[in-house]
Amino acid sequence: MKKKLLVLFFVFSVIELSAQFPDSLTRVEGDTIWFDARSLTIEGKGWVDTDSTFDRLPLKAKEIIPERVWRLSKNSAGITVSFSTNSKNIFVKWKNNNNTYALPNMPAISVSGIDLYYRASDNSWKYAGTGRPSPTFSSIAVFSAADEYPDKTDYLLYLPLYNGIAKMEIGILKGNEITPANVFDNNLKPIVFYGTSITQGGSASRPGLVHTALIQRQLNAKIVNLGFSGSGKMEIEMAQLISEIDASVYVLDCLWNMTDDLVKERTEHFIRFLRERKPDTPILLVEDSKYNYSSPSERGKILIGIFDKLQKEQMKEIYFLGAQNLLGKDWEGTIDGVHPNDLGFMRHTEEFLRIIKEILKIN
Amino acid sequence: MKKKLLVLFFVFSVIELSAQFPDSLTRVEGDTIWFDARSLTIEGKGWVDTDSTFDRLPLKAKEIIPERVWRLSKNSAGITVSFSTNSKNIFVKWKNNNNTYALPNMPAISVSGIDLYYRASDNSWKYAGTGRPSPTFSSIAVFSAADEYPDKTDYLLYLPLYNGIAKMEIGILKGNEITPANVFDNNLKPIVFYGTSITQGGSASRPGLVHTALIQRQLNAKIVNLGFSGSGKMEIEMAQLISEIDASVYVLDCLWNMTDDLVKERTEHFIRFLRERKPDTPILLVEDSKYNYSSPSERGKILIGIFDKLQKEQMKEIYFLGAQNLLGKDWEGTIDGVHPNDLGFMRHTEEFLRIIKEILKIN
């Protein structure tokens, strides 16, 4: 069965869209039936008991973590909505929850926009299209499947990386079906990434191109993205929180946000805490990536020292990913010397996939 | 000689910067000596007689081409400033000429920012850093070379892709030297790219990552970027204009901006006009790239038909680059289904380099 998706996308702003959202989960408007995204499958969350559906940390975190981390936890990085439908058109309406439309080093599509993928006949995920946000904070994207693509198929929608979702509706054409879909491998526990702006997705060009999303589609794995721009600083409260997630791997990638002293002070303590709570779960330490693949930074050396020490103690299931290949060798893998561009994230993906597959003993 | 460049960059807005620009080409301010960029080497222009130094079309074009093309010709895509200096700090101040700070599918750095490269000891160009623009339209970037990098070295500065430069100054530390530098291979005539938003650089993450810039650094070649976002439509007046440039290759890559009828109506006429004026200069026709590497579009088929016809007539030095590999095979090479992201531009570069080297008979 040859499947082919033609994609058209139009964006127009719908001022005061929020006023049009009813409380019910379904509503009909002309030829379109709208479903509140909350009635479909939401993944990428480590906790159910969040303040808002599309938040990344539980409500209880609010009192124990730095205010800035809490604020960033309302960015929907890594959260996905999945569903199955036979509709030839798919509409997405969303309202962002803050007014950071774009960043100097990230386009609006990536900060506040959405990215749709579908499952192709060979079971791989294929790009279906991008939804551009509107600066007035209410946007609509229309994705159109071609005539030769009539079957009920799985879709995977990535939410904004540096903004959040106040409200989201998925629309299909009348006479068609939409159902929630658990699209990831249920035998694989989520991979939890804890890190910085890089983990959160700066500077992927769209939400589906951060390395965590690329890895997700390659492995068909659940991923929890806990990247907090500028604020991935290994507070022990964060170790407490992530230890609550029953993970297949914990990836700790915080160096860029930490001073040498903070790395000395917190990292070993953080790892030991996690190891105590989760004796068998692999922990992967990641060195800070450098666009010019130069020798380890001071904080990198400290991290390597900690890793060596824990290895000597024979702590089990502790791994290390060096930075030398994370951004490639041509110095072109970042937008600004720090944040990976799409080239850099693709190279991150290759390196992370290699070691994660090794850790999980999968091909 | 091992060279290593540490890069730091700070951005702050300087309100009403323009008022501070004197008419003279040099001025001293504290420890910094500022040079008007016009006193250094400006490349990437097909004409000297432009309205403003950083424009891409000659003043006479204003009356004969569509108004939108004229307006876009004031975007500095592909224009470079080069110089040689031994200063450990390099400062760049610039004022953009319009208020398009960013685009939904392009970050501010790419639309209005700058990108600095230096020549490494192996003669290759290396990324040195990025200058973020300020939304108030006057920006400053500071690039710092490390202690171990004291020699006088060539620098190459790429200007904004979707904005222009009203004024630019390069600053060095007192006691150091800066001189204009002709950094490209002078035995190779410029490669002229005429095209659409893609040629202009949508959606590279920064000015140095559009394929024309990547090709430039690989070949050490002069490039003239005549990409006009949405308006690369092969008016015969554009053929007249580009025939005035003594080029090594003309690359014609306009399909995305043209309807099937326009391709039929204009392309053959455009090519024949160019061939008549420049009997020996290679002309490279490029098919429209497709993120899903699907079969030719209708306009692609028309272009292929024209190419076949000209080949049968044995028109000399006419070449064709098909789209099948321009964006890779994984459907991830665009930001929005149309415009290449950094991954897509790197793949464009490989394809273009292959055929351009073949045409120019270089390794």
DSSP string, A247-281: -SEEEEE-GGG--HHHHHHHHHHHHHHHHHHSTTS
Q: Do B318 and B220 lie in a common domain?
A: yes
- Phi, psi for A155 (deg, rounded to 5): -125, 150
Q: Do B140 and B201 lie in a common domain?
A: no
Q: Which of A271, A126, A132 is nearest to B104 (CA)?
A: A132
Q: Report the pLDDT averaged over residues A251-275.
A: 98
**For position A143, what pLDDT does the model report?**
81
Instruction: Describe chain B by its helix, strand, coil percentages, rounded to 5.
Output: 30, 25, 45
Cα separation, B351 vs A261, in Å, equals: 47
**In one letter, which amino acid is A101?**
Y
The CB-side HSE value for A67 (13 A sphere, CA atoms) comes to: 0
* Segment A52-109, tens digit of pLDDT: 999 999 999 999 999 999 999 999 999 999 999 999 899 999 999 998 999 999 999 9
Write the CB contacts of A301 (distance below 8 Å, at least 6 apart in sequence).
none
| A100 within some domain | yes
Point out the residues of chain B with pLDDT beneath 70.
Answer: 1-24, 137, 145-150
The CB-side HSE value for A106 (13 A sphere, CA atoms) comes to: 29
Q: Residue A303 pLDDT > 60, yes or no?
A: yes
Q: Answer with the one of A155, A180, A205 that is the final residue of a domain.
A: A180
Optimal mutation site among A144, A209, A332, interface B, most CBs of chain B within 10 A: A332
**For position B17, what pLDDT does the model report?**
37
Q: Answer with the one of A159, A180, A201 that is the final residue of a domain.
A: A180
Chain B interface, Cβ < 8 Å to A: 4-5, 7, 9, 11, 102-109, 113, 126-127, 129-130, 132-133, 203, 205-206, 208-209, 214, 291-292, 294, 331-332, 334-337, 341-344, 346
Q: Do B222 and B148 lie in a common domain?
A: no
Q: Do B259 and B128 lie in a common domain?
A: no
Asked if A105 and B331 come within 8 Å (Cβ–Cβ), the reply is no
Q: Which residues of B touch A108 (CB under 8 A)?
A: 102-105
* Segment A347-357, tens digit of pLDDT: 999 999 999 99
Q: Do B34 and B173 lie in a common domain?
A: yes
**For position A136, what pLDDT does the model report?**
73
| B61 within some domain | no
| B229 within some domain | yes
The enclosing domain of B264 has a CATH number of 3.40.50.1110
| A354 within some domain | yes
The pLDDT confidence band at residue A169, using thresholds 50, 70 and 90, is: very high
Asked if B346 and A336 come within 8 Å (Cβ–Cβ), the reply is no
**In one letter, which amino acid is B24?**
S
Cα separation, B104 vs A96, in Å, equals: 15
Q: Residue A19 pLDDT > 70, yes or no?
A: no
Q: Do A238 and A135 lie in a common domain?
A: no
Asked if A294 and B336 come within 8 Å (Cβ–Cβ), the reply is no
**For position A16, what pLDDT does the model report?**
33
Closest-CA residue of B relative to A209 is: B332
Q: Do A39 and A164 lie in a common domain?
A: yes
Residue B78: left if φ>0, alpha if ψ -120 to 50, beta else—which one?
left
Q: Do B37 and B170 lie in a common domain?
A: yes
β-strand A80-85 against A178-180: which pairing, if any? antiparallel
Asked if B331 and A127 come within 8 Å (Cβ–Cβ), the reply is yes
Q: Which domain holds residue B157?
A: 17-44+79-180
The enclosing domain of A100 has a CATH number of 2.60.120.260
Chain A interface, Cβ < 8 Å to B: 4-5, 7, 9, 11, 102-109, 113, 126-127, 129-130, 132-133, 203, 205-206, 208-209, 214, 291-292, 294, 331-332, 334-337, 341-344, 346
Q: Report the pLDDT averaged over residues A211-235.
A: 98
> How many domains does one find in chain B?
2
Q: Residue A10 pLDDT > 70, yes or no?
A: no
Q: Do A30 and A129 lie in a common domain?
A: yes
Contact A105, A202 (CB under 8 A): yes
β-strand A249-253 against A283-286: which pairing, if any? parallel
Tokens describing residue A50: 């969040």
Distance from CA of A135 to the nearest CA of B (A): 9
Percentage of chain A beyond pLDDT 90 is: 83
Asked if A292 and B126 come within 8 Å (Cβ–Cβ), the reply is yes
| B66 within some domain | no
Which range among A249-258, A270-279, B139-148, B306-315 shows the weakest confidence by mean pLDDT?
A: B139-148
| B102 within some domain | yes
A-to-B residue pairs, Cβ atoms closer than 8 angstroms: 128
* Segment B6-20, tens digit of pLDDT: 343 333 333 333 334
Q: Do B290 and B332 lie in a common domain?
A: yes
Average pLDDT, chain B: 91
Q: Answer with the one of A141, A158, A180 that is the final residue of a domain.
A: A180
Q: Do B306 and B270 lie in a common domain?
A: yes
Query: Which of A11-25, A88-102, A274-288, B284-298 is most confident?
Result: A274-288
Distance from CA of B105 to the nearest CA of A (A): 5
| B51 within some domain | no
Q: Do A228 and A106 lie in a common domain?
A: no
| B285 within some domain | yes
